[in-house]
Structure 1
Amino acid sequence: MRPEFPAFKSIELSDLPLISEHLTRYQPEICELSATNLYIWHNFDRGAYTFINDNLCLKVHLVGDTPYFLEPIGIKMIPETVELCLKETGRLSRISERLLRQLPLNKIRAHCLRSQNDYLYETSSLAEYKGGHFDGKRNHVKRFDKLYPDHVYVSIDQSFKPAVIALFEKWFAARKETHFFQKLAYGAQRQAILNSFDHFNELGLIGGGLMAGGELKSFAIGSRLNSNTVTAHFQYSDPTAPGATQTLWQKACKEAFSKFARINFEQDLGIPGLRKSKLSYHPKKIEKKYEIRLKPGITSLL
């Protein structure tokens, strides 16, 4: 039986068919509204859901943070639903412009969360690397081809779990512990990867990788976000294999992700190097996200 507000239910694997049903009708554009993401990060996000006015409402309580709601999934009584969410947690976060347009802006404070914005690309653009603005990417691919002439592209499935974990450990070790790569982030990412590969097929995951000399040099996995967009949940490369990332994206966009017109690289989390990298692939669109609260003195959105 589905939970009705004020009751909540923690998100488990068995809840995904119900959540996916509502998300499929909604056709979201942002990566938080992915059933796969909701599950693989559940140890860190501590997500729960309820229904308000027949809308699916997802509450997130990140480790070390206060709880917030994502945008309601549905079309009924949206201002009233948002008002109840705001009274429950004080804020909605990571919401799209799609929701923002439905709310009275004279009654809310909204600010853009730059570090949470998603990067959207044309899949065919990454598969081809055409034009002068992709000269650097093509040069990286040539370098990888020269260094690893025996490399092969492979479809990633559940059997790659040990190789994927080994590559992730190597990738993280090269970064050591910094402000952006803390032990908490390491634990959260590792557990999310384990969740992904423990339930690879149930989560509808697809992906590709590069093998050379019997080792996995790079991989990416993703899942359907909407009818024409795949969201890439993870991508890691061997830090000692220059050009692996650029080669992997080109091949994966020709193979695993080719049936989708667009690919979402998700957020940069405010990490300077990650932001620079994602911008270097020339996004077609940056999908903005916002956090909203009621303005001081405002008690209702109606």
Structure 2
Amino acid sequence: MKARCDKVECDPGQLITFPTPSRFKLEDQPLVRSYIDRFHPESCEFNFSNLFCWQEIYDYSWFIFKGRLVIYEGVNNCGFMPLGEAFSPDELKELSHHLICMGFEPDISIFPREYVDAYPDIERFYTIREERDHAEYIYRVDSLAELTGTKLHKKRNLISQFKRRNPDYSVRPLKADDFPIARNFVRHIIETREKVSQDLEDEFKAIERAFDNFESLGFEGIALWVNDKLVAFCVFSRLTHDTYNVQFEKSDLAFKGAAQVINQETAKFLQNKCVYVNREQDLGIKGLRQAKLSYEPERLIVPHTLIFKT
């Protein structure tokens, strides 16, 4: 860190005292939500429920800088695009200096291509890096619900197979009484893997936190049952006025077509609530990328990271 900061002089009288060690608290939700409602970020990274559930894993913290909400991620050591009126390149440079003065890295991520194009002189201060592996998949909810067209024929086929093999299946909203069952369901999926990855363990912790604060964080969900056996579930929440964010989705691979059924049933559940569904990133995982692309996304949100030139 020191090698990148030697050229920056910090005025002790102007240091920001945030981020706070307590990170995101439930009582911070109205403030964060007010920024989301006003500035309509497309990225799921700004969803308060995500920030709250994943904060221990990604070491999130936040502060207000010149009226903008700035989130800092301590694992990848970068700030998020300030949420508020767009900063000029000179103002972003000032923010990077403040990050350095707080002992953090000065890079800032989750910038859309539109910002980089609108401010070409940003390259005076930053190197621009496209982050394809962190692109977010945006779908029209009616497209996921209806699955029309030849390219989605295989999805419809798998759903039909599931329904023929499991005529006693049911779909219902996820309730508090279902949370222990869903926890055990996820735990079983993890433990049956040949190799348990840290990513799956981290996700399990985030799911537990989501269930522990389900109503407070505005989560909703549905579950797919065959008789009394849980075979899939999906948890989601509102991101903006026209977009929901699907955050956790799990299915039992022993039930062929369960993943496609829960995907479609989620879209049907959301049809009267939103226009778009953000199904988050593929993280560069080949199989996951293929699966997300196979559903014909409306568009991808490809973020860019601004790497500060010190």
TM-score (norm 2): 0.87
- How much has 1:254 moved relative to structure 2? 0.9
- How much has 1:166 moved relative to structure 2? 1.7
Does residue 213 of the first structure (1) align with residue 227 of the second (2)?
A: yes
Instruction: Report the AA paired with residue 18 of structure 2.
Output: A
Contact 2:110 2:303 in 1 (8 A): yes
Whole-Å separation in 1 of the counterparts to 2:48 and 2:275? 20
Which structure 2 residues correspond to residues 1-150 of structure 1 after superposition, within 5 A?
5-9=16-20, 10-62=23-75, 65=76, 67-75=77-85, 77-87=87-97, 88=99, 89-103=105-119, 104-107=121-124, 108-150=126-168
Matched residue count: 286
Does residue 227 of the first structure (1) align with residue 241 of the second (2)?
A: yes
Instruction: Report the AA paired with residue 246 of structure 1.
Output: Q
Whole-Å separation in 2 of the counterparts to 1:33 and 1:101? 22
Whole-Å separation in 1 of the counterparts to 2:112 and 2:46? 10
- How much has 1:21 moved relative to structure 2? 1.1
Does residue 263 of the first structure (1) align with residue 277 of the second (2)?
A: yes
Bigger drift between 102-111 and 50-59 goes to: 102-111
> Which SS does the other structure have where 1:282 is aligned?
coil
Contact 1:206 1:256 in 2 (8 A): no
Q: Which has the higher helix share?
A: 2
In structure 2, stretches of 5+ residues that fail to align are 1-14, 100-104
> Which SS does the other structure have where 1:225 is aligned?
strand
Whole-Å separation in 2 of the counterparts to 1:14 and 1:101? 37
Whole-Å separation in 2 of the counterparts to 1:158 and 1:257? 23
| Greater C-alpha radius of gyration | 2
Which residue number in structure 1 is paired with residue 264 of structure 2?
250
Which residue number in structure 1 is paired with residue 250 of structure 2?
236
Which residue number in structure 1 is paired with residue 7 of structure 2?
none
Q: Residues 191-247 of structure 1, C-alpha deviation per residue, up to 9 Å, x if partnerless? A: 110111111111111121101121111111111111111010011101211100111
Which residue number in structure 2 is paired with residue 154 of structure 1?
172
Does residue 274 of the first structure (1) align with residue 288 of the second (2)?
A: yes
Does residue 165 of the first structure (1) align with residue 198 of the second (2)?
A: no
TM-score (norm 1): 0.89
> Which SS does the other structure have where 1:222 is aligned?
strand
Q: Percent identity?
A: 26
Whole-Å separation in 2 of the counterparts to 1:98 and 1:20? 23
Whole-Å separation in 2 of the counterparts to 1:112 and 1:141? 36
